[in-house]
Structure 1
């Protein structure tokens, strides 16, 4: 059974005055989530938890850590969206040109399309 997450105000207070206690709560709650997960999901969650912890260690401050982890989340979401687009495209041919660069798609060349570029470097 998972512990109750303290209120936002309590977490802010810990972040300001007792970051070690906040980290202890984070580790405890992460361990509880991993313990409650099914074996097949647990391995994936442990890998994700490891990656997040390594990113946090590489960062110089909490803001940089937040930005890196947010970038990881957005990259994962983008990959999931791309896979979903591949699954949906056969049923909806008009979706095939979505998210393609005009450089790679002759149908979009000459149109006023601005490709989305990710800022992955920190």
Structure 2
């Protein structure tokens, strides 16, 4: 696995080579996902893609940090609900609509 640089190196990358820092982040995320059980990989890849899409809209590093924290907080709250109220979680269901069905 790729070794995470020290704080000063990361700070320098953020200030001088933000594209290189972003590539390092993507590489470390991909490596972490590769070391996860197969059952979780698709969900983690989806979460990573969603996070990257949201972060691409940010205008500055503080906005990126706040948005990342907000997204992760939402995930932790959902996980908390699943762990503490599994019956309530299982009762949530969605109606599946057939898009090919003709309306009368």
Shared fold per TM-score greater than 0.5: yes
Compute the displacement of 1:77 (Å).
1.4
Pair member with larger Rg: 1
Question: Which protein has the bigger helix share?
Answer: 2
Q: Which residue of 1 aligns with 2:7?
A: 8
Is it true that 1:75 corresponds to 2:71 in the alignment?
A: no
CA separation of 1:38 and 1:86: change in aligned 2, threshold 3 A: closer
**Matches of 1:78 and 1:26, distance apart in 2:** 25
Q: Which residue of 1 aligns with 2:43?
A: 44
**Matches of 1:6 and 1:25, distance apart in 2:** 10
- SS for the counterpart of 2:3 is coil
Compute the displacement of 1:82 (Å).
2.4
CA separation of 1:81 and 1:35: change in aligned 2, threshold 3 A: closer
**Matches of 2:68 and 2:10, distance apart in 1:** 19
Report how many aligned residue pairs link the two structures.
Answer: 86
Q: Which residue of 2 aligns with 1:60?
A: 59
TM-score for both structures, normalised by structure 2: 0.73
- Find runs of 4+ consecutive structure 1 residues off by over 6 angstroms: none
TM-score for both structures, normalised by structure 1: 0.63
Where structure 1 has 5 or more consecutive residues not aligned to the other structure, the ranges are: 88-122
Is it true that 1:32 corresponds to 2:22 in the alignment?
A: no
Compute the displacement of 1:38 (Å).
2.5
